Amino acid sequence: MARSIEHSFNSQDLKMAQALGYNMEALIRGAWLGGVGGVRKVLRGLGNPSDSKWYGGKGGVSVKQVMDKEI
């Protein structure tokens, strides 16, 4: 599954991630939580999806939070 996620990122995604200090492991972690589209939102500053809806808004974690754990 990780390989499939890895191949979903294009060169622009990788350049943006590198400029922000994220490695492939951070991208995979983020995509595991919020999908490749969720990671792209974070990279482009267009949003920060999370799984808080599963906890009634009283918990959960965001894509950026899991990506930042790899920095």
Give pLDDT tens digits for 15-49.
Answer: 999 999 999 999 999 999 999 999 999 999 999 99
* pTM of the shown model: 0.91
pLDDT of residue 2: 76
At residue 10, the pLDDT reads: 98
* In the predicted structure, residue 68 carries a pLDDT above the cut 90: yes
Mean pLDDT taken over the chain: 94
According to DSSP, the residues that pair with 50 across neighbouring strands are 62
Is the pLDDT reported for residue 54 higher than 90? no
Cα gap 19→1, rounded to integer Å? 25
